[in-house]
């Protein structure tokens, strides 16, 4: 039985349940897997040697065999942090002037489009007797 061997090797304190959620480094995990492979020992004895849970050692060996050493990197736990808000950085003089030029060109284009729309409205009203109201509902003159 496993608990008997733990008691023999570590005494009564070894039977105490440890719930510390310790995070092990990749190097430590690799040393445990390497010990298991080089000493040709059982998972149970390897776990006793490093004072770890047997299922933890078994998990590391499985990950190493199936996914390689990269699978033993510590993983982040918990809720991901919120995105950091970027502080408004002042624009350079060149970028600011380029933006202002673009804004003035776009405003001029809007004004030109509005004039074309007004001309088309007047043409529709005079030629076909169609009036377009403020809310752009088509009204036919009777």
**Does 123 fall in a domain?**
yes
Residue 120, pLDDT > 50, answer: yes
Arithmetic mean of pLDDT, 25-33: 90
**Does 56 fall in a domain?**
yes
User: CA separation (Å) from 61 to 6, 56, 126?
Assistant: 21, 9, 86
Write the pLDDT tens digit of every residue in 8-23.
766 666 666 565 667 8
pLDDT, greater one: 29 or 86:
29
Q: Which pLDDT score is estimated for 58?
A: 92
Residue 113, pLDDT > 80, answer: yes
Rg, the chain, Cα only: 37
**Does 126 fall in a domain?**
yes
**Does 90 fall in a domain?**
no
The fraction of the chain above a pLDDT of 90, given in percent, is 28
Same domain, 10 and 57: yes
**Does 32 fall in a domain?**
yes
Q: Which pLDDT score is estimated for 142?
A: 47
Arithmetic mean of pLDDT, 104-115: 95
For the chain, the straight-line distance linking the first and the last C-alpha, in angstroms and rounded, comes to 101
Q: What is the DSSP string of 40-107?
A: T--HHHHHHHHT--HHHHHHHHHHHHHH-GGGGSPPP-SPPPPPPPPPPPPPPHHHHHHHHHHHHHHH
Structural contact between residues 71 and 64, judged by C-beta atoms closer than 8 angstroms: yes
Beta-carbon contacts of residue 139 (< 8 Å; ≥ 6 apart): 130, 131, 132, 133
Write the pLDDT tens digit of every residue in 35-70.
999 998 889 888 888 888 888 899 999 999 998 888
Q: Which pLDDT score is estimated for 137?
A: 53
């Amino acid at each position: 039985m496993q608990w008997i061997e733990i008691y023999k090797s570590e005494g009564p304190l070894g039977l105490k349940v440890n719930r510390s959620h310790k995070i092990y480094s990749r190097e430590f995990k690799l040393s445990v897997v390497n010990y298991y492979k080089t000493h040709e020992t059982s998972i149970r004895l390897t776990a006793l040697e490093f004072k770890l849970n047997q299922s933890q050692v078994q998990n590391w060996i499985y990950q190493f065999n199936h996914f390689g050493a990269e699978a033993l990197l510590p993983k982040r736990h918990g809720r991901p942090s919120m995105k950091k808000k970027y502080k408004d950085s002042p624009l350079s003089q060149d970028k600011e002037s380029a933006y202002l030029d673009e804004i003035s060109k776009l405003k001029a284009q809007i004004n030109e489009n509005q004039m074309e729309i007004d001309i088309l409205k007047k043409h529709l009203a005079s030629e076909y007797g169609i009036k377009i109201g403020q809310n752009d509902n088509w009204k036919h003159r009777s």
